[in-house]
Structure 1
């Protein structure tokens, strides 16, 4: 059994750790509320806009829609959206694992040719994936000011590279926010825009106002930027939800550990007092003789 000093040191250490985890839980809970409100507000708009865009592409000629050109998937760009900070459970590990699954699975041939690039958003993905994959860059600063304007600038550069033919397919890998305790790992095709067939194979007859050219030039890019921004907000809210849950569990574990340590400390202290009493009694008996 450890001595009393060692046990007191451990109790002090666990108490300090508990204070830190409890504080981090409160901070994440406060940030989660704001992030959750943002994703809940934008999700219906982004989903409906994406639905319209997917149906709209079926009414366009391939030459009219630069972002819907279907090419042989030879050059792939995978965008891994993680966080800059850790201590959020399996949040980052799941995204990194999914990138490995894609590069070793459906894109294994392209990866062997060196045609799979990875763009990391967040330090956690960049630090791990740069050791094993062809990482073309990182965008950690996006989290400093997560706004539609900043995300749109990145989306525009990716869309331009697709139009130029640098990439044939672009996919987003991120955690979709469901609630504070549940994050859904999502792999979502960003480019080319996927066309959804109408029910019963009936094509919708759209009336373009003011004209088809303006719709193509304005609505489709706006929808893609909104889709990218929604993925970023999803990941941001999921990060704080995962961290709050992880810190909550860490705080509970610290409380359980403190309870066990206090019990052990009391047992050791009681044993030490008993030994001292026995020594006193034994000495007294020896003097009496």
Structure 2
């Protein structure tokens, strides 16, 4: 059994670790509230924008809608991979990288990676073709920052550098649950006309002009939504991970305290026996 000094040192060390993990949990919880509000407010807008595009496109031939809606032979694919810049969030980052590797293992096309987050960039920079690294986007995150690099992706898609674009990210379900999602960004999918679709609309300007403005905005919003989902998921995952780390540290500390008390009792018992033995020896002499 370790001596009392060693056990006291380990107890002190674990207590310090508990203070750090507990503080990190509280910080993550505070940031989670803000991030959760942001994604909850954006989702209805994104869904309504998609619904509006579907309704307007019902009055327009699909081939005339936009370059972004046309299916073409797939040769090159771009994956936008969203992780965080920091760790200590459980399986938050590794699950996204695992999904990316799964997609690439089952792909027969030329693939490139746009890393949004240092953890994604670190995971792919050595053995994958990196299209761009946008880890700095999390510094004062805004729609404009995401829209800027999304516009570059859209430009390269129009020029035929990519035939499909996907985004891989953690979708925020709640503070304890995140789901890894792979979504197709380009080309966008628009349902074909249905006979029961209400198309009794008067458009000003034309439906084609409306779609030419709505579709690029919808693509940028989809990518921005993925980033906000990932941010909220990161804080939820980190809060959960730090909560578990604090609980584990507390359990280990409790075990060490028991061992310390046993060692202390054994030391006291040993000292008493020595005193008694000494006293008996004096009596005998």
TM-score scaled to structure 1, two decimals? Answer: 0.93
Matched, 1:234 2:235: no
> How far apart are the structure 2 equivalents of 1:57 and 1:132?
41
- Structure 1: which 4+ aligned runs deviate by more than 4 Å? 54-58, 201-204
The equivalent of 2:94 in structure 1 is 93
Residues 160-202 of structure 1 show CA distances to partners (whole Å, capped at 9, x for unaligned) of 1111100000000000001100011100000001122466x65
Residues 221-279 of structure 1 show CA distances to partners (whole Å, capped at 9, x for unaligned) of 11111111111110000000000010011111111111111011000111011111111
Structure 1's unaligned 5+ residue stretches are none
- C-alpha change, 1:3 and 1:62, in structure 2 (3 Å) is same
Question: Does the aligned pair in 2 maintain the 1:50–1:227 contact within 8 Å?
Answer: no
3-state secondary structure, aligned to 2:243:
helix
The equivalent of 2:162 in structure 1 is 167
Question: Does the aligned pair in 1 maintain the 2:92–2:234 contact within 8 Å?
Answer: yes
Question: Does the aligned pair in 2 maintain the 1:67–1:163 contact within 8 Å?
Answer: yes
3-state secondary structure, aligned to 1:136:
strand
The equivalent of 1:20 in structure 2 is 20
The equivalent of 2:121 in structure 1 is 126
Matched, 1:223 2:224: no
> How far apart are the structure 2 equivalents of 1:137 and 1:98?
19
3-state secondary structure, aligned to 1:78:
strand
Matched, 1:104 2:99: no
Residues 73-123 of structure 1 show CA distances to partners (whole Å, capped at 9, x for unaligned) of 110000110000000011001100000000001x1x21xxxx100111000
Matched, 1:38 2:38: yes
Structure 2's unaligned 5+ residue stretches are none
> How far apart are the structure 1 equivalents of 2:124 and 2:274?
63
Q: Report how far residue 27 of structure 1 moved.
A: 0.4
What aligned pairs does 1:162-201 form with structure 2 within 5 A after superposition? Answer: 162-197=157-192
TM-score scaled to structure 2, two decimals? Answer: 0.94
3-state secondary structure, aligned to 1:62:
helix
Question: Is 41-50 or 74-83 further displaced after alignment?
Answer: 41-50
Q: Report how far residue 47 of structure 1 moved.
A: 1.5
Question: Is 133-142 or 236-245 further displaced after alignment?
Answer: 133-142
3-state secondary structure, aligned to 1:131:
coil
How many residue pairs end up in the alignment? 282
The equivalent of 1:83 in structure 2 is 84
3-state secondary structure, aligned to 1:145:
coil
> How far apart are the structure 1 equivalents of 2:56 and 2:153?
21
> How far apart are the structure 2 equivalents of 1:222 and 1:60?
20
Question: Does the aligned pair in 1 maintain the 2:74–2:164 contact within 8 Å?
Answer: yes
The equivalent of 1:49 in structure 2 is 49
Question: Does the aligned pair in 2 maintain the 1:197–1:203 contact within 8 Å?
Answer: no
> How far apart are the structure 2 equivalents of 1:19 and 1:158?
44
Q: Report how far residue 56 of structure 1 moved.
A: 4.2
